[in-house]
Structure 1
Amino acid sequence: MPEPGGSGPSSRPAFAPMITDAPGLNWAGPGDAWSRAWGAHPQQAPVLPAGNGFTTLAGPRPAALPPMPDRPPAPVPPPLLNPAAAVAVLPLAARTAASGPTAEDIALVRHSLGVLEPVADRATAHFYAVLFLRNPELRALFPASMDVQRDRLFRALLAAGQAAGSPAELTAYLDRLARGHRKYGVLDEHYGPVGEALLAALERYCGRFWDQSTEIAWRRVYRAISEVMIGSAAADARENPAWWQAEVVAVDHRPGDVAVVALRTDRPYRYRAGQYTTLEVPMWPRVWRPYSLASAARPDGLLTLQVKAVPAGWVSNALVQRTQPGDVLRLGPPGGTMVVDHDDDTPLLLLGGGTGIAPMLAVIEEVAEHGRARTVEVFYGARRASDLYARERLAELARLHPWLAVRSVVAEGAPVDGGPTGPLPAVVGRRGPWEEYAAYVSGPPAMVRRTAAVLLDAGVPRERIHHDLEGV
C-alpha cells in the first residue's frame, strides 16, 4: 500500500463513510453481554446514605460532622450503558465559583497528597475495592484485566487535586480528561460513587492526617472537579461522538514487526498533524492505547497509523498480527500538543525514534500543504538499519521539498545514507546549534526524556520543546 499523502489534494476523492452498522460487525463495548452481566444485579452492596454521614468500609463516621453543602449527591444506580447514552448532557452549575474550594482547602488537599504519595499503590487498590464493592455495575466500564490501567483513574483524580490551586491549568486538564473519558461510557451519575470511593481511600491511607477539615476540603475540590468535567463532557457531546468507528482499509506489513494501518472512520475525524488518537480493538474491549497519526488530515477521510508489535503489547500485537481489512476499531478523540504554528517561520527540528517518526511525517505533510518555505530538519533514529521502515517515505519527501533535510541515525552498525551513528539523543547533542529551533520529539519514553534534557542543555527554551510525555 503506498503511503497516503503522495498525491495532490485534487486527486483525492471526497469523504464517504464506509460503515453502516459497525456494532453489528465485530465491535464490543458498553452495552455488550459483559456489561449486561455486571449490571444484572446492581447495588448488591450497601448504598451510601444521604445526609451528613460518610460511610467507609470500617463503618459510618460519627454524626457530629458539620453540614457540608458542597457534598456530592448520594449515588444513584446508573442505567445499563449503551453507546447512545454515553454522556447525559447536564448544564454546568453556576454556583461553582461562589462555593468552590478556598485557599485553605487547597493547602489541605496538597498536604494530604504528599502524605499519600508513598502508599499510592495501596490506596489505588483500596479505591477500586470500595468502588466495585458498593457499585458492582461500574466494573463493566473497565477492562477485564485491571492491571492494564489500574491506576489511571485514581492518579488522574489525584493530579486534578494537585492542580486545584491553578484554575486555568486545572480547567484545561479536566477538559481533556472529560473528553477522553466519554469513550469509556462515563455518565454524570458516576461521579458520586467515584468521589465517595476516592474519599474512602484517602481517609484510610492518610491516617492521622485525615480529619473533618481535610474531608470537607476534598469534598469541595472534588465537587468543583466533577462540575467542570460534566460541563466539558456536555459541551463536547454537542459537537462530537463519544467515539468514532473506524474500518480497516489496508494493513501494510513492514520489517521489524511494524504495520502501517489505514483506517476510514464513520464520520469525519478532525485532528492536526502531530496529534495522536486512542484506539480500542475488538479483541481487548475497554483497553485503549495511544497511537500517533502518521499523515496530515486528508479530504478523503483516510487515517494512517504506524504500529510496532511489542512484547506483551495487547493492542499493538492485535493490530500487527491479527487485524485485517474489514475489521472495525474504535477511536477516541484526538489529543496531544505537538502541533505546528504555520504563521511562524521558526525552523523546525523533528526527532523521531522508531515509530515515533509517524507524527513527524504528518507534520512534514502539513507544512508542505501550507506552502510556506521554512527550514525543517529531521533526525530519524533506530537501533539498526533494518528498523528504519519509513526511510523511503522520508527520502521521497526530501526530494519533493528542498527545505527539508533528513538524517537517518542508527545506534548499531554502519552509517545509513552517510548519516551519523549512536543513540539519537547523543547525536542531536553533537549537532546544532539548535537555540533558534522549535523541537518536536516522539519515540520511546526513555529516548524522549534524554532528548529533551539534551535540547535544554543545548540552549533550546523549554517552551519550544514539544512532546506528549507527561512529567518531563
Structure 2
Amino acid sequence: MDVTRLKSSWQQVAEYGDEVPLFFYSSLFLTHPEVRSLFPVSMALQRDRLVGALGRIVSDVDRVDELVPFLQHLGRDHRKFAVLAEHYPAVGEALLHTLSHFLGTRWTSDLAADWTAAYGLVAQVMTEAADASAKETPPWWDATIVSHDRRAPDLAVMTIEPHQRLSFRPGQSLAVETPLRPNLWRYYTPANAPRVNDTIDLHVRVVGGGPVSTTLVQGVRVGDALRLGPPVGERLTLSGREDVVLIAGGTGIAPFKALIDQVRSEGGDRRVYLFAGGPTRRSLYDLRALRALAEAQPWLRVVPCVSREAASDGVEGGDAVDVALRHGPWRSESVYVCGSPDMVAGSVHRLAEYGLPRERVHVEEFTTGTEPIGGIS
C-alpha cells in the first residue's frame, strides 16, 4: 500500500468539494437501497461529515498509533446507527466507485489495490471494535424524559431516566436521539455525576435552528422517549488532585456541574473556581442553582460574569476568560473551558497570551473528523 499515492489521490478527489459526497451517497443508495434507512431524511450535514472523516483517515494513514483509536471509536459509535458488519462492503463499493469516477484516467489498477487494502483495514478495525463493544454494552440506551424546564424560548433543562444503568464519567458526553428526528444524533454533556437513581440532567440550547436542539427545547414533553449513545470524550474529565479553574460560556456550565458533583463526592479536598459567563444577566439561566452550590460548598467559588452589561449585584463585567484571569494568578491549577466553538477558541487564545502552558488547559473537541461515516451525530 503506497501511502503517498493514497494521500495524493484523495487530495485530487477532495478538490471536487460537495460533488464527492453527493456522488458517493447516490451510488450507495442506488446500488444498496436497504442501507438508506440508516441515514436521516436530510443528508446535508452528513455529506460534510463523510468528507471530514475520510480526510482524517487518509491524513493519519501512516500514523497508526493515532488512526487506530479513531477508527475504534468510529466502530463502537456506529453501533447506535444499527450499522452491521455486512454493511461495510456496500460502503466500500460506493467509495471505490466514487474515487474511480472523479479520478478518471488517473484511477489505475495499483491505486485501486491501494484503496481496497486501505478500506479493508479500516473496516476490519471498526468491526472488531464494534464486536468487542457489543459484548459489554447495548448499542444504545432507551430513556424517558421525567422533567422538562423551559427556561427561555431557546433553552431547556431536562432530566431523563435511562431504562437501564448507563455508566459515564463526569465530563463525558452522550449522543442523544429523539424519535421525532430519527437518525439524527447530537452530543450533550450530563450536568451531573452518576446518581443512585440513574437520572441525568441535560442543558439544551437551540443552536442555529438545528432540528435536534429545536425539538428537544420546543417539541418534547415529559414522558417522551429518547435514545442515548455510549459516553465519549476524556478531555473534560478530572485527572490528578490539583485545584481547578472552570471557565464556562452559556450551557458550557453543564459538564462543570458534573465535575463539581464529583469533587463533592470525593470529599471536597480541592478548590474549584467556576467562572460562568454570558452576554447578559438573563442568559445566566442557572445562576440561582450555582449560587446555592457555592453557599453549600466552602471549597467552591462561583463568579458569574456578563460581557454586554455592566457589573452589578455580584455579577462581574467581562468575558468569562478575562474575569478568570483577573482573579489569578493561576500557578498550578488545571483550567477547563467549555462553551461555543468561538468562545472556546477565544478563551484558549487568551490563556496562551497569559502564559498558561497548553497542557494545563482542557477542552473537548467534537469536529467533523470525529463524526461517524455511516450516520450522523
In structure 2, the residue corresponding to 1:119 is in which secondary structure?
A: coil
Cross-structure match for 2:133: 236
Q: What's the CA shift string for 1:84-106, capped at 9, x where partnerless? A: xxxxxxxxxxxxxxxxx5xxx22
In structure 2, the residue corresponding to 1:240 is in which secondary structure?
A: coil
Identity %: 38
Residues of 2 paired with 1:357 and 1:124: CA distance? 36
AA aligned to 2:171 is G
Task: Pick one of 218, 227, 242 that aligns with 1:346.
Answer: 242
Whether contact under 8 Å (2:21, 2:50) holds in the other structure is: no
Whether contact under 8 Å (1:307, 1:316) holds in the other structure is: yes
Cross-structure match for 1:401: 297
Q: What's the CA shift string for 1:274-313, capped at 9, x where partnerless? A: 1111111111111111111111111111111011234522
The offset of 1:262, in angstroms, is 0.7
Which stretch of the first structure deviates more once superposed, 107-116 or 190-199? Answer: 107-116
1:170 aligns with 2:62: no
Residues of 2 paired with 1:153 and 1:196: CA distance? 15
AA aligned to 1:456 is A
Cross-structure match for 1:107: 4
Q: How does 1:162-241 map to 2 (within 5 A)?
A: 162-206=59-103, 209-241=106-138
Whether contact under 8 Å (2:157, 2:204) holds in the other structure is: yes
Residues of 2 paired with 1:251 and 1:183: CA distance? 25
Equivalent residues, number: 368
Task: Pick one of 433, 443, 446 that aligns with 2:342.
Answer: 446
TM-score, normalised to structure 1, is 0.74
AA aligned to 1:114 is Q
Q: How does 1:31-42 map to 2 (within 5 A)?
A: none
Whether contact under 8 Å (1:377, 1:404) holds in the other structure is: yes
Q: What's the CA shift string for 1:52-78, capped at 9, x where partnerless? A: xxxxxxxxxxxxxxxxxxxxxxxxxxx
Considering Cα pairs closer than 8 Å and 6+ residues apart, tell me whether 1 or 2 has the greater RCO: 2
Residues of 2 paired with 1:138 and 1:106: CA distance? 30
Q: How does 1:300-339 map to 2 (within 5 A)?
A: 300-339=197-236
Q: What's the CA shift string for 1:377-406, capped at 9, x where partnerless? A: 111111110110111121112112222221
Whether contact under 8 Å (1:247, 1:329) holds in the other structure is: yes
Q: How does 1:13-412 map to 2 (within 5 A)?
A: 101=1, 105-206=2-103, 209-255=106-152, 257-342=154-239, 344-412=240-308
List gaps (5 residues or longer) in structure 2. Answer: 370-377
Whether contact under 8 Å (2:276, 2:304) holds in the other structure is: yes
Whether contact under 8 Å (1:161, 1:222) holds in the other structure is: no
Whether contact under 8 Å (1:256, 1:386) holds in the other structure is: no
Q: What's the CA shift string for 1:428-458, capped at 9, x where partnerless? A: 4555334533222211111111112222222
Whether contact under 8 Å (2:268, 2:299) holds in the other structure is: no
Q: What's the CA shift string for 1:89-128, capped at 9, x where partnerless? A: xxxxxxxxxxxx5xxx222222223333433322111111
Residues of 2 paired with 1:106 and 1:430: CA distance? 49
Taking a change above 3 Å as real, the CA distance of residues 341 and 292 of structure 1, as seen in their structure-2 partners, is closer
Q: What's the CA shift string for 1:166-197, capped at 9, x where partnerless? A: 22211211121111111111010111111121
Taking a change above 3 Å as real, the CA distance of residues 249 and 111 of structure 1, as seen in their structure-2 partners, is same
Residues of 1 paired with 2:313 and 2:101: CA distance? 60
Taking a change above 3 Å as real, the CA distance of residues 416 and 129 of structure 1, as seen in their structure-2 partners, is farther
Taking a change above 3 Å as real, the CA distance of residues 431 and 217 of structure 1, as seen in their structure-2 partners, is farther
RMSD: 2.1
List gaps (5 residues or longer) in structure 1. Answer: 1-100
AA aligned to 1:287 is L
Residues of 2 paired with 1:234 and 1:455: CA distance? 42
Displacement over 6 Å in runs of 4+: none
Q: What's the CA shift string for 1:306-338, capped at 9, x where partnerless? A: 112345221112112221111111111111123
TM-score, normalised to structure 2, is 0.91
Residues of 2 paired with 1:302 and 1:409: CA distance? 30
1:424 aligns with 2:320: yes
The offset of 1:363, in angstroms, is 0.7
Pick the structure with more helix per residue. Answer: 2
Residues of 1 paired with 2:13 and 2:346: CA distance? 29
Whether contact under 8 Å (2:172, 2:237) holds in the other structure is: no
Which stretch of the first structure deviates more once superposed, 247-256 or 228-237? Answer: 247-256
AA aligned to 2:341 is P
Which stretch of the first structure deviates more once superposed, 173-182 or 235-244? Answer: 173-182
Whether contact under 8 Å (2:236, 2:363) holds in the other structure is: no
In structure 2, the residue corresponding to 1:224 is in which secondary structure?
A: helix
